[in-house]
A and B are shown apart, each in its own frame.
Chain A
């Protein structure tokens, strides 16, 4: 058993295979990000966003990353059920139905916009949002349609992530 002082400093690791796949998926995203957006830290707001995001990703529980994850709880019940069942086909169908519902889409558009209010570079914001919820900071309609499409492809980033979650 670890010493009490060191135990809290340890970080659970993903299984090697999943870690490698995650690396590969992330590399694909990185390849799409312009060099100008990499490493460039323009102002304190931006670095605070990076710090907060990294803190969220490191944190064992709370944090805004999880608040964003909670938004998934706002998706249609059918999609939530499909997600729990890890059924990409059903999820795709559910998200397509959702994307075609103008009332729900309007509500969801606002939520997505609110989530995307960040001072991170646009390309990073898109990539992070891809990880978390949609395929980008676009309209909810587009995002959910793309999400549905991505789910169908099964070999996309979103599907890979959701399958493992």
Chain B
């Protein structure tokens, strides 16, 4: 990690401590660390789908939360698709849903 990245994070943690420590945000931050390669890794996707469900209760990605079945689900969905794109899309969808959940939780509760 570069120093300026660390400094930015510490600053955000100091300013928005409640937000940055929230379980939703913790998962969001973990996902932010994913490389393009890891977003196409079935095992990582299963981990992320599982964490997403744990913190939101949303079962939208339940079919991806079991590493053992991810590959077969992906194989089925990838028929006619670019290999790897299904998993990558799943991660992006999880990311967007997490962002919306964070917005819904914090913006509504912090309005004065």
Contact = CB atoms under 8 A, between A and B. Distances in A.
Interface residues of B, number: 42
6 contacts: A8-B34, A9-B47, A12-B1, A47-B19, A57-B6, A59-B33
Given A26-B7, A30-B15, A128-B11, 8 more contacts: A4-B41, A4-B43, A14-B3, A30-B14, A41-B107, A51-B99, A57-B8, A69-B4
Q: Identify whether the interface residues of A are mostly helix, strand, loop, or mixed.
A: helix
Interface stretch (A17-25, A76-84, A136-144): A17-25
B11 A127 contact: yes
B103 interface: yes
B110 A11 contact: no
A41 B20 contact: no
B19 A41 contact: yes
Contacts of B44: 4-5, 8
A-B pairs, top 9 by smallest CB distance, nearest first, are A58-B32, A8-B38, A55-B32, A5-B43, A57-B8, A26-B10, A41-B110, A30-B14, A57-B5
A19 B44 CA distance: 28
Interface string B84-112: 00000000000000010011001100111
Nearest to A120: B15
Contacts of A26: 7, 10-11, 14
Contacts, number: 134
Contact-residue bracket for chain A: 35 or more
Interface in A4-46: 4-6, 8-9, 11-14, 18-19, 22-23, 25-27, 29-30, 33, 37-44
Contacts of A61: 35
A22 B6 contact: yes
B19 A22 contact: no
Given A26-B14, A30-B15, A51-B99, A42 B110 contact: yes
